Amino acid sequence: MDVTPSTSHWGAFSAGLDAEGRLRVNPHPSDPSPSPLLGNLPGSLRHPTRVAAPAIRRGWLERGPGPDQARGHDEFVEVEWDEALDLLAAELRRVRDAHGNEAIFGGSYGWASAGRFHHAQSQLHRFLNAFGGFTSSRNTYSTGTSAVLLPHVVGSADEVLRKASSWPTIVANTELLVAFGGVPEKNVFVTPGGVTRHHTPGFLGRLGERGVPVALISPLRADLPAGLHARWYPIRPATDTALMLALAHTLAAECLHDPDFLDRYCVGYDEFERYLFGAADGVVKDAEWASAITELPAADIVALARRMASSRTFITVTWSLQRIEHGEQPVWAAIALAAMLGQIGLPGGGFGHGYGSMGEIGDTGPDLRVPFLPRRANPVRQFIPVARIADLLLNPGEQYDYDGARRTYPDIRLVYWAGGNPFHHHQDLNRLRSAFTRPDTVVVQDPFWTATARHADFVLPATVPLEREDFGSGRRDTHLIAMHRVAEPYGRARDDYAILSGLAERLGIGQRFTEGRTPRDWLEHLYGEWRQSLLSRGVEVPAFAEFWSAGEYRLPAQNADRTLFAEFRRDPVRHRLRTPSGKIEITSEHVRSFGYADCPGHPVWLEPREWLGGARATRFPLHLIANQPSTRLHSQLDGGAVSQAGKVAGREAIRIHPADAAARGIAEGDLVRVFNERGACLAGALLTTDSRSGVVQLPTGAWFDPLGSLCVHGNPNVLTADVPSSRLSQGCTGQHVLVEIERYAEKPPVLTIGSPPMITREHPPNPDGTHARG
């Protein structure tokens, strides 16, 4: 069996087809901790949910474009490529001419492929920009809150999220790791664009070997791998900010903080301290106050603060903590707490964000941009925060706040999605289903019949990475990997570039989009430009033919510890931060000037609507944490072997504390109904003492399989609220939700998501016997 190199978001590998045509996958030989998620690949090439041919929703063919309640329920009609592209080109032209380019929403997310040329989002946005532009989205579901807040507090989001202290520095210097949200090892196997060597599991192992104490602050014990010297603080979910404020109060009250650091490197501490002592609201934010909110003993809070002050302490906050209502506050409060300790910028001390949230955070690979497809400028200035897609479609013309500006939702008539599944990422999926009925036309370009494809009018079959040529490399990756073609395209699938090139030719923008290049031409061109830029800096890079034959290129090593905070600490004048003051803004006058009650000018405790200390908990007494799955990347390859092995009774597994299960008559392996006023889903029960009582955990990513308002497959986003983190960021709040659970005693509904929707291969006739063309 011949094998060829390739890569994926969860690891580099070699692959080939055996004599029976089955895909065989082997991890990269240099990978010290290969991802188990590679096991989802073999079944993906010919999975029953692959889209075999262009398909158009029957109602669109019969009645033409327009809002339609049948979207998501209708059957599809397979057509030839020329017919699909002719109809779609005409519809794109109609929408642009009648409503303007801002009526087109280019809703692609970046996870479709690790390849840098066949990157679906780049391909679609390049095409739409050549067509005159489109309404775009900004930020991500993962870090949409932090990405807006951090520039106001430390001057940059990218420097914090992408250029953090390395794990070797932490292992060598940190004396106490305080991990808000833990360091979930399951997430470190994933890096956008690919990863060749998974280093983080090894670094975590060394942390345990060195005996570094870890304070795990999470309702889930599994948020930290075994083998570390950890003390678990099983905090009540969504109350981390209250704990941080109490820790800060203890530091100030006992004079354990660093006034010199706060004076030289920060602004606004005095006002924050007055808030801690109750000057603003009469409430002292001490350990007793926080204990009532967090349900952690006050003595433990005080002891932790003292230990932090006497140690080289590194505070890390996972991305999950900002994916909640008021998610700005734990990030901002953690920075303020680290500033009070005075260790920001010291090796092994200070603040980090996202350790355990993604594989690149803390990794030692080079921070080097690899070849990529340019998208060109978007002539349309309209955009939305990414998590406001349902609001955009449901409320054209409505105004909303975002980062100090007052914005207006445009009237979207055509949605074009390539390489993404909002029915995984978004909240309140029953509301999103309603939103998807409103546009005139919805286009989805995807290899699989995802829930988003099933809610489309045009479904265009795209190839998977193993069916085309590309190159891939992730952030902090050590290699650029040549992604050789392994298999022929499934059915009549085409790569995104070929699909969009066909549309571009019909719209008169073919040359602008393709520049006359084939995919191989583009690979050689992009690699050649990148190679020349490195050669000019004295870096030896092989020619494309040599690289392609070798299958990989080892990227040049770089200093992994040139962090923003280290340079700022050495010289706060020369390396001043890009904040108005040039310093860390514990209080931000700029944010205060926006007048947002849900995000004032410094870190505060704001009670969320979805938490166990609130009034809603009387109706829905369990706090569900909808975190990332360990068996797949988001919803990708949910039909794969690894993902399917994690199911219980064919549904996504929900982890329940035995005491909560016993109170509801639930046993291990039972099918349960998880519900609140927004919807319900079925899941399979797993009992565990690794979560605190009152907390259940159901990961995201089970393919949405609706039966009325019930998802029969276990997608928790039928339960989560579609509300923003705050008016500042409009970020995603899908991490937490209150629910109730009951044993499901009825006959289980049939799962439909594992096979295509209803498809016919003949055009539906009009009443006069002719066939519609939209």
CB under 8 Å to 480, separation ≥6 — which residues? 370, 371, 471, 472, 473, 547, 552, 553, 555
- 558 confidence band (pLDDT: 50, 70, 90): confident
Phi-psi category of residue 760: left, alpha or beta, with phi > 0 → left and psi -120 to 50 → alpha = beta
Q: What is the DSSP string of 256-306?
A: -S-HHHHHHHEESHHHHHHHHTTTTTS----HHHHHHHH-S-HHHHHHHHH
CB under 8 Å to 653, separation ≥6 — which residues? 646, 647, 683, 684, 685, 686, 698, 714
What is the pLDDT at residue 399?
98
Is 772's pLDDT higher than 60?
Answer: no
State the number of CA atoms in the 13 A half-sphere of 532 facing the CB: 5
Is 219's pLDDT higher than 90?
Answer: yes
Contact present, 584 and 266 (Cβ < 8 Å): yes
Can you list the alpha helix ranges (DSSP code H) found in 31-177? Answer: 58-63, 81-99, 120-130, 146-154, 158-162, 167-173
For the segment 387-415, the average pLDDT, to the nearest whole number, is: 98
**Measured between alpha carbons, how far is 654 from 57 in angstroms, rounded to an integer?**
35
Task: Work out the number of other CB atoms within 10 angstroms of the CB of residue 448.
Answer: 23
Tally helices (H) and strands (E) across the chain.
Answer: 25, 32
What is the pLDDT at residue 162?
78
State the number of CA atoms in the 13 A half-sphere of 660 facing the CB: 27
- 764 confidence band (pLDDT: 50, 70, 90): low
For β-strands 584-585 and 622-625, DSSP reports them as unpaired
Quote the distance between the C-alpha of residue 600 and its chain's center.
26
Share of the chain above pLDDT 70, in %: 98
For β-strands 671-675 and 680-687, DSSP reports them as antiparallel
Task: Work out the number of other CB atoms within 10 angstroms of the CB of residue 710.
Answer: 18
For the segment 47-70, the average pLDDT, to the nearest whole number, is: 97
Question: Tens digit of pLDDT for each residue in 367-395?
Answer: 888 999 999 999 999 999 999 999 999 99
- The single residue of 10, 109, 400, 522 carrying the catalytic annotation is 109
Question: Token match 């993906």: residue?
Answer: 44
**Measured between alpha carbons, how far is 541 from 528 in angstroms, rounded to an integer?**
10
Verify whether residue 111 is a known catalytic residue. Answer: yes
Question: Tens digit of pLDDT for each residue in 67-83?
Answer: 999 999 999 999 999 99
End-to-end CA distance of the chain: 48
State the chain's mean pLDDT as an integer.
Answer: 95
Identify the DSSP state of 489.
Answer: P
For β-strands 229-233 and 213-217, DSSP reports them as parallel
Structural tokens at position 425: 């990422």
- 640 confidence band (pLDDT: 50, 70, 90): very high
What is the pLDDT at residue 765?
54
- The single residue of 111, 167, 233, 490 carrying the catalytic annotation is 111
**Measured between alpha carbons, how far is 426 from 137 in angstroms, rounded to an integer?**
13
Q: What is the pTM of this model?
A: 0.96
Is 771's pLDDT higher than 50?
Answer: no
Structural tokens at position 169: 């520095």
Structural tokens at position 6: 């390739």
Q: Which domains does the chain have, with CATH numbers?
A: 55-139+390-472+496-517 (3.40.50.740), 164-366+561-593 (3.40.228.10), 615-743 (2.40.40.20)
Question: Tens digit of pLDDT for each residue in 570-619?
Answer: 999 999 999 999 999 999 999 999 999 999 999 999 999 999 999 999 99
Is 770's pLDDT higher than 60?
Answer: no
- 562 confidence band (pLDDT: 50, 70, 90): low
Q: Which residue from 586, 589, 584, 585 is spatially nearest to 565, judged by alpha carbons? A: 584
